[in-house]
């Protein structure tokens, strides 16, 4: 049995490793998105894909400032992302989004305390913005190198990967922070896409063999 001092050091080591992993999430999202697809070079290209049945990945954040910026998906011009909403707003929704089990207890902006992290499956608020405004936002993201489109071969498993992650998120003891945030959500969906395609490939080989 470990002594109290060794137990404390072990816990500290695990915690530091966990923090390093979470801080790397934004970079890992960009790396995976570039492997599963391509980085946009222009706003016009991104705008065209936005209105098609393409999976667009917005990958913001950095290791130094992991909570800066927002990461999300756009699929067929519908935004799917993790946001913070008040209980009142959640209750008013006709179809409540996937919600974390616990409210936010600590936040650098006190106004967010008491809200819940939720995954919205069908956010259309951006449709109220003019085409020029959307293109400007896309140009900004593409100039930063934070905007990607997944290859078509991954489109067929995106919905399954998304639903799996939503269910996982809603049953786990999550609030909002280093354990789970918008970058974690996007990263986990991309990892699930890889796993689903791997299983699809194994099944195809089994059936053909």
Per-residue pLDDT tens digits for 52-76: 989 999 999 998 887 889 999 999 9
Whole-number pLDDT of residue 182: 96
Over residues 178-201, the mean pLDDT reads 94
DSSP class of residue 135 equals H
Q: How far is CA 115 from CA 60, 106, 184, in A?
A: 22, 10, 18
Per-residue tokens: 89:
């707003």
| Residue 159 predicted with pLDDT over 60 | yes
Of 43, 36, 49, 122, nearest to 81 by C-alpha is: 122
Radius of gyration for the chain, computed over Cα atoms and rounded to the nearest angstrom: 19
Taking CB atoms within 8 Å and a gap of at least 24, the contacts of 49-54 are: 49/149, 50/74, 50/77, 50/134, 50/138, 51/76, 51/77, 52/76, 53/155, 54/149, 54/150, 54/152, 54/155
Q: What pTM value is reported for the model?
A: 0.89
Q: Kindly indicate the confidence band of residue 186, based on its pLDDT and cuts at 50, 70 and 90.
A: very high
Query: Which residues on neighbouring strands pair with residue 55, listed in sequence order?
Result: 75
Side by side, the strands of the sheet bearing 116-123 are 37-39, 147-150, 55-58, 72-75, 78-85, 116-123, 98-99
Phi and psi torsions of 119, nearest 5°? -105, 120
CB 66 within 8 A of CB 23: yes
Per-residue pLDDT tens digits for 8-50: 676 677 657 656 777 889 999 999 999 999 999 899 999 999 9
Residue 187 C-alpha from the chain's centroid:
6
CB 46 within 8 A of CB 76: no
The span from the first CA to the last CA of the chain, in angstroms, equals 51
Per-residue pLDDT tens digits for 97-147: 899 999 999 888 888 899 999 999 999 988 888 989 999 999 999 999 999
Max Cα distance, the chain (Å): 64
**Averaged confidence pLDDT in the chain:** 89
Distance CA 191, CA 178 (A): 18
């Amino acid at each position: 049995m470990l002594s109290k001092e060794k137990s404390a050091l072990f816990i500290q080591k695990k915690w530091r490793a966990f923090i390093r992993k979470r801080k790397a999430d934004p970079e890992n999202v960009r790396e995976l998105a570039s492997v599963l697809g391509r980085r946009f070079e222009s706003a016009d290209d991104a705008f065209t894909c936005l209105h098609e049945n393409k999976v667009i990945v917005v990958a913001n954040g950095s290791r130094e400032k992991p909570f800066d910026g927002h990461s999300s998906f756009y699929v067929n011009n519908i935004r799917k992302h993790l946001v913070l909403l008040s209980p009142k707003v959640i209750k008013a929704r006709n179809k409540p989004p996937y919600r974390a089990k616990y409210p936010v207890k600590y936040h650098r902006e006190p106004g967010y305390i008491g809200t819940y992290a939720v995954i919205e499956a069908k956010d259309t608020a951006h449709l109220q913005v003019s085409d020029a405004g959307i293109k400007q936002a896309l140009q900004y993201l593409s100039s930063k190198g934070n905007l990607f489109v997944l290859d078509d071969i991954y489109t067929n498993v995106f919905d399954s990967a998304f639903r799996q992650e939503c269910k996982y998120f809603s049953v786990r003891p999550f609030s909002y922070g280093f354990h789970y945030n918008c970058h974690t959500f996007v990263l986990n969906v991309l990892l699930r896409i890889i796993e689903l395609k791997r299983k699809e490939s194994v099944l195809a080989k089994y059936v053909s063999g």
